[in-house]
Every structure is written in structure tokens, then in C-alpha cells.
Amino acid sequence: MNIPPAAILGRYRQALSNISIIMRLIYLSLLTALLFSCNRSKAKVDKDLVLKIQPFIGTDLNEINEVADSIRKYYPKVIIASPVKLPDFAFYAPRGRYRADSLLKFLSGLAKPNETLIGFTTRDISTTNGAIADWGVMGLGKCPGNSCVVSTFRLNMTKGKNQFFKVAIHELGHTMGLPHCPNPECFMRDAEGGNPLDEEKGFCPKCKKYLHNQNWKVL
Ligand SMILES: [Zn+2]
Ligand SMILES: [Zn+2]
């Protein structure tokens, strides 16, 4: 077949541009997977794991004791540390609130090898969510990881203790390696910027099974 040189060049360019589109799609899907995945296979089962509540100064210690008792029904090894000051490096001056991702770094630094730390604060906390640079949240947890943080700032305080507990158990679920759950009544439901906590009734059977394998008392 006799193909003119210009046509060959055109085909070659077309092939190159197809490859570049495919490469871009692969890159985007990898990026999406990284941002939204919660790597369960990385969650290791540690029989001696201790959940340590780390209050930040200003939180009500009676409320913390009650939340600790509620968490113990699901995982008995819960201890409470003395309150510490919120670290200055986590303060986000433009919004007068604390960066949850920075608080996770701070808490991870305090955690002993067999500990997962859960920070409690009354101050508003935020993180980056996709294109939104500073997005207010009720809590944030590494998934899996050794730190999470809960803020009472956005909770409905007439139902405060119950909501406080629900956010805490959700973030602890992330630290154990649980991703968000599509079941609207499950503790691992994604709040998606709202406060659906009153619709949550417990861990769904699927999340229970996972946590049971991580030594939680859920079955
Ligand atoms: Zn979550
Ligand atoms: Zn679930």
C-alpha cells in the first residue's frame, strides 16, 4: 500500500495523542484510588492495641468519661491521657480553626507503638476536601493509622454525648482500616458535609465482621 508521507505523519500523531489520553486516564484513576481508598490490607491486627483518648484543653472530662465507657463496649482497652494544649502549628488563622490533618500528625507523634490516639477538642477543625482547601469537619481519622481526632464544635449539643460517641467510633473505625460504608444506618456512613448522625444505629453486619477480625467486641 502506498501511503503518502503526510498521511503517515498524521497517523503517527493520532497514535501519540491516543496514548497520551490513555496515560492521563490511568493517572487520574490512580489519583482517585489514592485519594479515596482506605487500604484494609495494610491494617494489621494488634492484640495489644490500646485506644488512648487524648483530650485537648477545654474538653469536658465528664463527657469524655462517658464516651470512653461507650467505646469500651466495642473495644475494652481504652485509657484517657491528661489534657494537652492544641499545637500552634495546627492553627489555621484565616478561618480561626485547627487543621485536622496537622492534629493527626501531632497525635501520631505522641502514640506509642501499640497505641492509637483519639484527640478530642471543642474547637472547629478542618481539612482539604478535593478542590475545597479548608473544609470544616466533625472528625478525621487515618485509614488505617494510629491517630484520629473528633471535634464537638459541629455537633448537635442537645444530643451531644450520643453524637460525640458516634463521631468517635466512626473515626476509630477508619484507624482500624474501615472505609466509608454505603449503609445509611451504619456508623461508617459518610457525613458528606451534613450531620446524619441521628440516622446511624450501629455498625452494619459487613463492618461488624471486619472489626470482629480486628478483635473488636461487635458480634
Ligand atoms: Zn469518615
Ligand atoms: Zn457498614
**3-class secondary-structure state, position 126:** strand
Residue 17 C-alpha cell reads as: 495523542
Question: What spacing in Å lies between the alpha carbon of 10 and ligand 2's midpoint?
Answer: 53
| Ligand 1 center from residue 17 Cα (angstroms) | 39
Query: Could you state, in order of their start, the residue ranges of all structural domains in the chain?
Result: 5-36, 43-212
- Three cell numbers written together for 128: 482539604
- Residue 194 binned pLDDT confidence (cut-offs 50, 70, 90): confident
Q: Which three cell numbers stand for residue 26?
A: 490511568
Tell me how far the alpha carbon of residue 46 lies from the centroid of ligand 2, in angstroms: 22
How confident is residue 38, by pLDDT bands cut at 50, 70 and 90?
confident
Instruction: Starting from the CA of residue 190, give the closest ligand.
Output: 1
Say what the pLDDT of residue 192 is.
87
Cβ partners under 8 Å of residue 71, min gap 6: 51, 78, 165, 168, 169, 172
pLDDT tens digits, residue range 160-175? Answer: 668 999 999 999 999 9
pLDDT for 32 beyond 70: no
Q: What is the dihedral of CA 50, 55, 60, 62, to 10 degrees?
A: 20
**C-alpha cell, 208:** 461488624
pLDDT at 23 over 70: no
Compute CA distances 22 → 18, 25, 173, whole Å: 6, 5, 36
* Superfamily classification of domain 43-212: Collagenase (Catalytic Domain) (3.40.390.10)
- Region 50-78 average pLDDT: 97
51-60 pLDDT, tens digit per residue, is 999 999 999 9
- Looking at the chain, list the stretches that DSSP marks H as alpha helix, in order from N- to C-terminal side: 5-36, 61-72, 100-110, 160-175, 205-212
Q: How far is the CA of 189 from the centre of ligand 2 (A)?
A: 7
- pLDDT the model gives residue 34: 41
pLDDT at 13: 62
C-alpha closest to that of 207 among 182, 194, 191, 197? 182
Model confidence at 4, pLDDT cuts 50, 70, 90, reads: low
pLDDT tier, 7 (very low <50, low <70, confident <90, very high otherwise)? low
Whole-angstrom Cα distance, residue 98 to residue 130? 18
**Comparison of pLDDT for 215 and 10, the residue scoring more:** 215
Q: What does the alpha-carbon distance between residue 89 and residue 103 come to, in Å, rounded to a whole number?
A: 9
Distance CA 65, CA 81 (A): 11
Say how many Å lie between the CA of residue 218 and the centre of ligand 2: 12
Average pLDDT, the chain: 87
Q: Considering every ligand atom, which ligand is closest to the CA of 200?
A: 2
The rounded Å distance from CA 48 to ligand 2 centre is 25
Residue 147's nearest CA partner among 109, 97, 187, 99 is: 109
Mean pLDDT value across residues 147-155 = 96
CA 5–ligand 2 middle distance (angstroms): 60
More confident residue, 158 or 67: 67
The DSSP bridge pattern shows strands 115-121 and 147-151 to be parallel
What is the model's pLDDT at position 28?
44
